[in-house]
Structure 1
Amino acid sequence: MTELQSEQTGCAGCGVKLQTESSEKLGYVPPQALERTPVICQRCFRIKNYNESSGITLNHDDFLKLLSHVGHTKSLVVNIVDIFDFEGSLISGLPRFVGDNPVVLCVNKIDLLPKVTNFNKIVNWVRKQAKDFGIKVVEVVLCSAKQNMGFDRVIAALDEHRGGRDIYVVGATNVGKSTLINRLIRDYSDLDSELTTSQYPGTTLDLVKIPMEDGTFIIDTPGIVYPHRLTELVNKQDLQKLMPDKPVKPLVFQLNERQTVFFGSLVRFDFVQGARQSFTFFVSNGMGVHRTKLDKADELYDEHKGELLAPPSREALELLPKLTKHPVRIPKGKLYDVSISGLGWIKVNSDVGADLMIHAPKGVKVAVRDSII
């Protein structure tokens, strides 16, 4: 690591410890910028000079430590989640640190849902899911950062609920947090003011406080890395195939028991037992899907993983955790989804019940939930 040439060891903008080793980590400053006075990290530099925030990441435990003080402030918390990976992108532990502060839940990437989607139903579904997770929200706003859909409503919701409070923006990686922060900076910030240090006792400062015109602040928090999301495990090339970039085309399969569906060689779906029924798969249009008999699935995987069954390639597959089994029993009498964090979800289209087996890389989150669509 290049030695810092300045006696200043903390960013003059946000206070984070400066380093010159990795532009992907907090506190990065290019070596040539050390000659400036005062020295600010690249993240603060981009906010101050380009009205733009960059995506920096933090693990979950460090994130909760970082925001342990929020419950003692008067703030509005904006939690951004990915509708395509709702369970995987929700912040577990959010109710513990927000205290009595209001929470606005911004549900991003709604442009990926099928065009016939009933968005009022989605809002009601999100409210119920958030309640089940113990998160009390004052408003659910559907939006698309990529398509610039719903952002006017996001801004209106913040105006309505913040009541002169600071705004904390929180979210996992790849949910569109930086895009929202950048929009807030353009709409609210007064960047003629210097970025201010926000050192809190007992914490490592990884926050950036962006001044607003009314004297309050937008607090930009690092994105949280959740290893239970498949999107955190694959390489960049495969990530492009895994994450949809346009509305998904649902795949409907009529399956008999003891049939298998592969999603590349990343995830395997076994219909182990139950009456013949249909399943709808909501995954990226770029994901390779292959159906076979359960009795032949192991042999097919061993012979064709990383080739016929792709993504990923054989070389990339060697770097991923091995597939582990998740037995799933779908009860009778109600419609359910099986969500696989980072891949998408499977809708069970019948209420007659089924026994399933999901094979996913070790650690990836698999959950049963009420059907979203």
Structure 2
Amino acid sequence: MTETISETKACTGCGVKLQTEHAEKLGYVPAQALDRSPIICQRCFRMKNYNESSGITLDHNDFIKLLSHIGYTKSLVVNIVDIFDFEGSLISGLPRFVGDNPIVLVVNKIDLLPKVTNYNRIVNWVRKEAKEFGLKVVEVVLCSAKQNMGFDRVLAALDEHRGGRDIYVVGATNVGKSTLINRLIRDYSDIEAELTTSQYPGTTLDLVKIPMDDGTFIIDTPGIVYPHRLTELVSKQDLVTLMPDKGVKPRVFQLNAQQTLFFGSFARFDFIQGERQSFTFYVSNALPAHRTKLENADHLYAEHKGVMLTPPTLEALELMPKLTKYPVRIPKGKMYDVSISGLGWVKVNSDSGADLAIHVPKGVKVAVRESMI
């Protein structure tokens, strides 16, 4: 019985093959649930109904094997990235995986940007950054799948560029990929089942083929888990605080050299040397900031991490990599951002240059880029 299930049926939520014997393994479904329609595995059922994380994901090699298949197809590739973690959510090596297939770059979560944002500037900025990354795209589309912003343009771009081909949807975890696909299903397919949408990584575990009305398919691929993103290192309780759920209110701090800002115990920003200047922080509104003198910063962190400097709690902090110092030099002459993958970014508002140090859990990606806003 189990072999027949494994060979012929897959979870309509995550795509993994179903089995009834091993509750601790992927694809488990109780035997009494097999007559349900649609059938979803127990992992997807618990995420969908209770928002629980199972901790079961595919490893990186399995992700790469699935993605490498795309280059042998004739498809339109929709690459979804998170505007709030642009560098961290880009898929390393994607041009190599997709071959000659055209790429539409869908930039999700623009509802998190300040309301006064110039979207034309954002599109130009994304094009420039993508080109530097080696990603050749036929179109950049800004949207918010959650807030239904820009979705008509997403549909128009797909109609314009796919030419009757299948659509492969790729992206890192937590970029809103499943939410966007559920919107595509409503417009392109008459099936009722929706993919499992959760705030936790690893929601989709295999290729999920969704038939469209014209006989082609939308193919959802697993989200790649990148440990260089802070959002992959924190507990599920702290993830709610770290990931914004509404428009971010920029926080501006006028700092002198030798001053430090803590954002909970997640990150520390040192202004080491430079003229007095302002820095704008684009981070979750729920994340508290604490200012101190640089000379006091080490002692303050040692004494108050996980208590006054929270989140995360001391218990959760012990499960994360230790804070590591990354020196950052901001050159003169242009406006720059310092992005911290999974946390947000800091805009340096002066073109006079500055010497900084960013302290984040070891392995989290820190990058300097031309200012987005």
TM-score by length of 2: 0.87
Q: Which residue of 1 aligns with 2:322?
A: 322
Q: Which amino acid aligns with 1:12?
A: K
1:169-188 matched pairs, under 5 angstroms: 169-188=169-188
Q: Matched residues in 1 for 2:292 and 2:8: separation?
A: 56
How far 1:179 moved relative to its partner? 0.8
How far 1:301 moved relative to its partner? 0.5
Q: Matched residues in 2 for 1:22 and 1:225: separation?
A: 23
Q: Matched residues in 1 for 2:359 and 2:311: separation?
A: 15
Does residue 222 of the first structure (1) align with residue 222 of the second (2)? Answer: yes
Structure 1 runs of 4+ with >6 Å offset: none
Q: Matched residues in 2 for 1:145 and 1:264: separation?
A: 29
How far 1:59 moved relative to its partner? 4.3
How far 1:73 moved relative to its partner? 1.1
Q: Matched residues in 1 for 2:191 and 2:117: separation?
A: 40
Q: Which amino acid aligns with 1:113?
A: L
Structure 1 residues 364 and 11: CA distance shift in structure 2, 3 A: farther
Instruction: Give the conservation status (yes or no) of the 8 Å contact 2:10–2:18.
Output: no
Q: Which amino acid aligns with 1:10?
A: E
Q: Which residue of 2 aligns with 1:267?
A: 267
Q: Which residue of 1 aligns with 2:363?
A: 363
Q: Which amino acid aligns with 1:288?
A: P
Q: Which amino acid aligns with 1:363?
A: G
1:146 match: secondary structure: coil
How far 1:190 moved relative to its partner? 4.3
Q: Matched residues in 2 for 1:22 and 1:164: separation?
A: 40
Does residue 42 of the first structure (1) align with residue 41 of the second (2)? Answer: yes
Structure 1 residues 173 and 81: CA distance shift in structure 2, 3 A: same
Q: Which amino acid aligns with 1:250?
A: P
Instruction: Give the conservation status (yes or no) of the 8 Å contact 1:172–1:226.
Output: yes
Q: Which amino acid aligns with 1:9?
A: S
1:285 match: secondary structure: coil
Q: Which residue of 2 aligns with 1:201?
A: none
Does residue 295 of the first structure (1) align with residue 311 of the second (2)? Answer: no
Q: Matched residues in 1 for 2:38 and 2:162: separation?
A: 32
Structure 1 residues 302 and 372: CA distance shift in structure 2, 3 A: same
1:39-78 matched pairs, under 5 angstroms: 41-42=40-41, 58-78=58-78
1:129 match: secondary structure: helix
Q: Matched residues in 1 for 2:175 and 2:63: separation?
A: 16
Q: Matched residues in 2 for 1:26 and 1:77: separation?
A: 27
Q: Matched residues in 1 for 2:31 and 2:318: separation?
A: 36
1:26-175 matched pairs, under 5 angstroms: 26-34=26-34, 36=35, 41-42=40-41, 58-175=58-175
Deviations 1:254-282 (A, max 9, x none): 11111100000110001111111111111
- Number of aligned positions between the proteins: 350
How far 1:352 moved relative to its partner? 1.1
How far 1:61 moved relative to its partner? 3.5
Q: Matched residues in 1 for 2:173 and 2:163: separation?
A: 28
Q: Which residue of 1 aligns with 2:279?
A: 279
Q: Which residue of 1 aligns with 2:200?
A: none
Deviations 1:61-105 (A, max 9, x none): 422211212112110000111100001111111100111111111
Structure 1 residues 171 and 62: CA distance shift in structure 2, 3 A: same
How far 1:38 moved relative to its partner? 11
Q: Which residue of 2 aligns with 1:51?
A: none
Instruction: Give the conservation status (yes or no) of the 8 Å contact 1:88–1:365.
Output: yes
TM-score by length of 1: 0.87
How far 1:19 moved relative to its partner? 4.1
Structure 1 residues 265 and 38: CA distance shift in structure 2, 3 A: closer
Q: Which residue of 2 aligns with 1:344?
A: 344
Deviations 1:22-71 (A, max 9, x none): 69x7534334235x59996539x99xxxxxxx999544442221121211
Instruction: Give the conservation status (yes or no) of the 8 Å contact 1:33–1:39.
Output: no
Instruction: Give the conservation status (yes or no) of the 8 Å contact 1:71–1:99.
Output: yes
Deviations 1:160-205 (A, max 9, x none): 1100000001111111111111111111124399xxxxxxxxxxx9
Percent of aligned positions with the same letter in both sequences? 78
Q: List alignment gaps of at least 5 residues for structure 1.
A: 47-53, 194-204
Deviations 1:211-264 (A, max 9, x none): 111111110111111111111111121111111111111111111111100000
The more displaced of 184-193 and 331-340 is 184-193
